Amino acid sequence: MKTIIIYYSESGNTRQVAKTLSSLLSTDLTEIKDIKSRIGFSGKISSAIDAFRENKTETIPPKVELKDYGLVYFGTPTWANNASPAIITIIDKCDLQGKDVVLFATMNGSGGISAINRMKEKVESRGARVVESFVIKTKNKNVSQIKKDSENIAKLLDLRLYL
């Protein structure tokens, strides 16, 4: 069975983690796009409210077919101590029965664990088993630092073990 990394990224940090892990672990990779505009100050405020309330959003793709995959990664930025609406929306449409799942979140400084815990509840209620999870701090880090952190985490947690 194959492995897929499914992620949402608004400003590129989570994308960098997902891409690094995907090339390191030779997995498939799917980016989820959010149709709702998240631009500017008002976009950030409404994004935080949407995440806090777990408002659903429209995504591209609207769904991800997982029948070929045994291991599924979900990655998200932390928004208002929660996962992003795009990732919550996708998780709530996935058939995760019998799947192993790895969860990850990026964050400025806090709330990543709550985001992971909420995703954990969601994926477990859809039949998955969470085998690993991790949070990466991105504040004041450039792309190459985030790449290095992702490589270190993959090594530290021995993520190859679950492939």
Ligand X SMILES: Cc1cc2nc3c(=O)[nH]c(=O)nc-3n(C[C@H](O)[C@H](O)[C@H](O)COP(=O)(O)O)c2cc1C
Residues 6, 32 contacting (CB under 8 angstroms) = yes
Considering only residues 39 through 58, tell me which ones interact with ligand X, judged by CB under 6 A: 44, 47-48
Number of residues that bind ligand X (CB under 6 A): 22
Considering only residues 55 through 94, tell me which ones interact with ligand X, judged by CB under 6 A: 77-81
36 vs 126, which CB is nearer to ligand X?
36
Query: Is there binding between residue 106 and ligand X (CB under 6 A)?
Result: yes
Query: Is there binding between residue 152 and ligand X (CB under 6 A)?
Result: no
Considering only residues 6 through 45, tell me which ones interact with ligand X, judged by CB under 6 A: 9-15, 44
Query: Is there binding between residue 110 and ligand X (CB under 6 A)?
Result: yes
59 vs 100, which CB is nearer to ligand X?
59
d(C-alpha 36, C-alpha 26), whole Å: 31
**Residue 135 parent element (H or E):** strand 129-137
| Angle in degrees, CA 27, 13, 122, rounded to 5 | 65
20 vs 100, which CB is nearer to ligand X?
20
Q: How far is the CB of 49 from ligand X (least distance, A)?
A: 9
Residues 34, 59 contacting (CB under 8 angstroms) = yes
Residue 123, Cβ density class (10 Å: 0-12 exposed, 13-18 middle, ≥19 buried): buried
48 vs 126, which CB is nearer to ligand X?
48
22 vs 78, which CB is nearer to ligand X?
78
Residue 20, Cβ density class (10 Å: 0-12 exposed, 13-18 middle, ≥19 buried): buried
- Using the Cα atoms of residue 147, residue 150, residue 154 and residue 155 in order, give the sign of their dihedral: positive
Binding site for ligand X (CB under 6 A): 9-15, 44, 47-48, 77-81, 106-111, 138
